[in-house]
Amino acid sequence: MRKNNIHIHELIQLMGKNEKRYLKLFIKRYPGVENNKAMKLFDHLSGDEEHARQAVTGKRPDRTAAYLQDMIIKGMVAYRSGYSVKVQLRNFISFAELLIEKGAYRAAERILKRAAKMAFKAERFNEAINIIECRQRILPAKGILKDFEKKFVKLAEEKKLLLKKINNIDEYRVLSYRLSYILVTKGLVPREQRDISKIKALMKNPLLKNKNTALSGHAMIFYHYIYSTYYYITSNTEAEHASTLRLARLFEAFPTLLEVELFWYIVALNNIMDSSLRQKRYDEFMESLERLKALPSKVKTTDIGKYRIIARSQNLLLSLYIQKGEFEKGLGLVPSILEDLKKHGGKVETLRLVEFYHRLSILYFAAGKYDEAKRWTYKILNMPGEGTRDDLQSLSRIMLLIIHLETDNKDQIDSIALNTFRYLSKRKLFFRFEKIMLRFTGKILPQMHTEKDLRASFREMRKELQALAEDPFERRVFQYFDFISWLDSKIENRPFAEVVRKKA
């Protein structure tokens, strides 16, 4: 298969059923030999069983591939125009420009008036500037001199204000992405002092002193996101919950923002559920989960977008079952989740995929299915470094030690502990929690020869971990896995799942 075809194949694999169906109908609108070849190539690259074995015919397959690529671009733009405000506005502007070139100024003005209303409502300020520039072109072309200067200056002032709002949004966006970068690379709660110092310095930015510095709904989204994240990091749970609720309500008050910035609304609902779990507000969790699950039927989005919403919903539901100790319910979801991953795995963000693997590992661990728990843990460890979080990489190595402890596989514990030590040292991820766990597995455990000694060492480690639970920057590690409940299960000789259920 030629190189061109490989790129198109990847593009086609990202398309959902509805998009593929639409594209086929779109191509059929243009009959001809080249179109027939393009359709054949599309079916071949789509992996349809009926056409999978058919070879691509023709003397110039690269030409057909280039033609198909062009049709895919045009077709997907047309498909998106049905739900994308951005695409609709660009179509309006292109049509208005065509009318201006033909001298149909009144018709162009009507189109631009409609487009301007849509642009301002959705806060599509870049497109609003394009609309103003079209209106500025019309003024001298019409040859009407009355109030020309006044009208032109007014449009210029509107454009200047829009540019100010765009710059304001970009400044908030940069701040939010700087904060997000630290979280997704270092972990949801950074424990390195240099990262904490970066976050504190970021929060001193003048844009974060007062919400009135946010000049638009888009800027306000970033403002509330930054503060809710900061409150999360500093363990100010009540302030975090309130700030996240304000972010969600902002979208619900302005539905057009929801259509344009769906991702940030999903983030808001995700964070509300995360906060609700930590505070055991299970009713609030379920309310937000239902809102998240209902999004595909309320907001127009791509098939990929719909699946990502479903995947996030599944991920969060697994979190609920794990926290409440309802591991059997979680395991009951696994077959359908794995089937979905098989179909759509390439469309799931790497970070979501790692979280899936982590939760599957915990579910199987709690069920005593240690080989399965080990398999999903290794999936995290074997993932490429790009896109994976340091905290989950570190935690997965600790989990591997615990799994081998449960299976009494002492022969491998020493080598795993040594590899974990090297990994953490190399990446400067040696914090108090990791030191306690490695000291126990590497030095204390080999000296324990009786069940009584082993339980005594578990009690000592529990005291140390309980002290960590009071540290705002160390205690978040217990959100990933309930290490204290695991120790209680060893001390009391009770199943881990039973201990977790009792605490929930």
* The dihedral formed by the CA atoms of 27, 33, 34 and 37, expressed in degrees to the nearest 10: 80
Q: Tell which residue, 320, 325, 345, 188, has the closest CA to residue 267.
A: 188
State the amino acid at position 160 in one-letter form. K
3-class secondary structure, 465: helix
3-class secondary structure, 222: helix
Return per-residue pLDDT of the chain as tens, 504 residues: 444 444 677 777 777 777 788 788 877 777 676 777 878 888 877 764 344 334 444 444 577 788 888 888 777 777 766 567 888 899 899 999 999 998 999 999 999 999 999 999 989 999 999 999 999 999 887 666 667 788 889 999 999 999 999 999 999 999 999 988 877 776 656 666 777 888 889 999 999 999 999 999 999 999 999 999 999 888 888 999 999 999 999 988 887 788 778 889 999 999 999 999 989 999 999 999 999 999 988 887 777 788 888 889 999 999 999 999 999 999 999 999 888 888 776 677 788 888 899 999 999 999 999 999 999 999 999 887 655 677 788 889 999 989 988 887 777 888 888 888 888 887 776 678 888 888 887 777 777 768 888 888 889 999 999 998 888 777 778 888 999 999 999 999 999 999 999 887
Helix (H) or strand (E) segment spanning residue 20: helix 17-28
C-alpha 455, offset from chain centre: 42
92-141: pLDDT as tens digits: 999 999 999 989 999 999 999 999 999 999 899 999 999 999 999 998 87
pTM: 0.77
* H and E: helices and strands count for the chain: 25, 0
pLDDT at 423: 82
Backbone dihedral region for residue 205 (phi beyond 0: left; psi -120 to 50: alpha; all else: beta): beta
3-class secondary structure, 404: helix
Helix (H) or strand (E) segment spanning residue 489: helix 483-492
Q: Which long-range contacts (CB under 8 A, 24 or more apart) does 114-119 make?
A: 115/89, 118/85, 118/88, 118/89, 118/92, 119/89
pLDDT at 220: 94
Rg over CA atoms, the chain: 28
The DSSP output letter for 59 is S
Taking the C-alpha atoms of residue 138 and residue 114, their distance in angstroms, rounded to an integer, is 16
Taking the C-alpha atoms of residue 159 and residue 31, their distance in angstroms, rounded to an integer, is 44
314-354: pLDDT as tens digits: 999 999 999 999 999 999 999 998 888 887 766 777 888 88
| CB neighbour list of residue 379: distance below 8 Å, 6 or more residues apart | 357
User: Residue written as tokens 């995929």?
Assistant: 353
Q: Cα dihedral sign for 366, 369, 374, 375? A: negative
What are the backbone angles phi and psi of residue 376, rounded to the nearest 5°?
Answer: -75, -30
3-class secondary structure, 427: coil
Token couple for 213? 């510095």
